[in-house]
Every structure is written in structure tokens, then in C-alpha cells.
Amino acid sequence: RVLLVEDYEPNVLVASSFLEAFGCAYDVANNGAEAVKRAKDTQYDVILMDVQMYGMNGFEATAAIRRFE
């Protein structure tokens, strides 16, 4: 299971196309805060995190996820 964290819709379309082609089950979070919430609610094997996002950026979201792991 993969969590794709991306706020730019064209990038979501490209990345999701690759994930589907590889047969991966995935969820999409549109910002860092949503990524933290989803990571708390669901066990993911991989989180693909955008770094530059408005609000909580990828570094902050990753740090928040690591704190509760």
C-alpha cells in the first residue's frame, strides 16, 4: 500500500498512472496535514512525499509521521 502526497494535480495523474501500471494500491493526500492524518489511520508500506507544499511541507509532514511511528 502506497500513500502519494502531492498537491499539484498533473503530478498526481502521472504518479498514479505509474502506480496503477505497477499494480500498486494507493491513496492520495493533497497536503502535509492530510498525509499525517492518513498515515495515522492506515499502515503504508511506502509514502511518496512531495517536499514543496503549502501549509505543512513535506519535511514537516515526514517529521510529524516519524514522531508517532
Mean pLDDT of 42-62: 96
69 pLDDT tier (thresholds 50, 70, 90) = confident
User: What whole-number distance in Å separates Cα of residue 22 and Cα of residue 53?
Assistant: 26
The residue written with cell numbers 514522531 in the block is 67
Taking 90 as the threshold, does the pLDDT of residue 48 lie above it? yes
Question: Identity (one letter) of the amino acid at 18?
Answer: F
pLDDT tens digits, residue range 7-27? 999 999 999 999 999 999 999
Average pLDDT over residues 33-43: 97
Cβ neighbors of 35 (< 8 A, separation 6 or more) are 3, 5, 29, 47, 49, 61, 65
C-alpha cell at 24: 500498486
pTM recorded for the entire structure: 0.94
